[in-house]
Amino acid sequence: MFAKAALILVDIQNDFCPGGALAVAQGDEIIEVVNRLMPCFPLVVAIQDWHPANHISFQEQGGIWQPHCMQNTPGAELHPQINRQEIDSYFHKAFEPQKDAYSGFEGINQQGQSLHQALKEKEIKTIFVTGLATDYCVKATALDGLKNGYEVYVVTDVVRAVNVNADDGEKALAAMQAQGVHLLSSEELFQSSQTASNQGD
C-alpha cells in the first residue's frame, strides 16, 4: 500500500466503454487491472461525467460530442465490472448546462467538496491517474493535479485514448511527461507496492 497516495479512476463509465454512446476503443480492457490496483491504495476516487440533457458539450448545443453520460442514466454509471467496494468517494463533473469540465479537479462529491479539498483532508501527496480518455479527461486531471501541487503519475497501460488522430494518445502522454507528470506501467506500480509492503513488515 502507498501511504498518502490516491488512485484516481477517470470516467470509466458505460458510455465511454464499447457499446456506449461515446465509446473509447478497448476502454473496458483496463478494468481488470484497475480492480487489482485499488487495494494497493488508502484512497480510491472515481470521477464521473454527469451531464444534463442540454449540456454545452453536446452537438445540439453547439458542442463537439454526441450526448453521453447524462445524469441518472445507465450510460453515466461506472462500468459494472468495476469493484465498487474498493471506491471511497465519487466526484461528478460537467453537471452544469453551460460549463464543460474535463478535469476531475473540477468535480464535487456529495458533501460539496472539490477533489482537491478531499485529497488535502486525507493528507494525500501523490495521485495515480487511470481511466478514460488519455487525450482528454485523463490529461486534464493529471495536469490539474500538478497545478494543485501533487506528485502525479499516469499508469500508461491503464488508460485508453479517443485518438481522433491515430497518435493523440501518445502525444498526450508525451505532453504530460514534458510538464512533469511521471509515466509508469501497472507492473512497475505493483512491484513498487510489493517493495513498500515488504519494507513495512
Give the residue-averaged pLDDT of 77-83.
98
pLDDT at 1: 56
The active-site residue out of 93, 135, 139, 144 is 93
Tell whether the model's pLDDT for residue 124 goes beyond 60: yes
pLDDT at 103: 98
pLDDT digits (tens, 9 = 90+) for 54-68: 999 999 999 999 999
Best CA proximity match to 27, nearest among 40, 15, 18: 18
Contact between 165 and 193 (Cβ < 8 Å):
no
pLDDT digits (tens, 9 = 90+) for 84-120: 999 999 999 999 999 999 999 999 999 999 999 999 9
The mean pLDDT of the chain is: 95
Q: Answer yes or no: 93 catalytic.
A: yes
Tell whether the model's pLDDT for residue 156 goes beyond 70: yes
Domain spans of the chain, in order of start: 5-200
**Among the residues of 39-185, which ranges form H helices?**
115-121, 139-147, 168-178
Structure-block grid coordinates of residue 37: 490496483
Distances (CA, A) of 47 to 59, 105, 167: 23, 9, 25
The active-site residue out of 11, 28, 49, 144 is 11
Tell whether the model's pLDDT for residue 197 goes beyond 80: no
Structure letter (DSSP) for residue 80: T
Give the residue-averaged pLDDT of 28-44.
97
For domain 5-200, give the CATH superfamily. Answer: Isochorismatase-like (3.40.50.850)
The active-site residue out of 17, 40, 69, 137 is 137
pLDDT at 109: 97
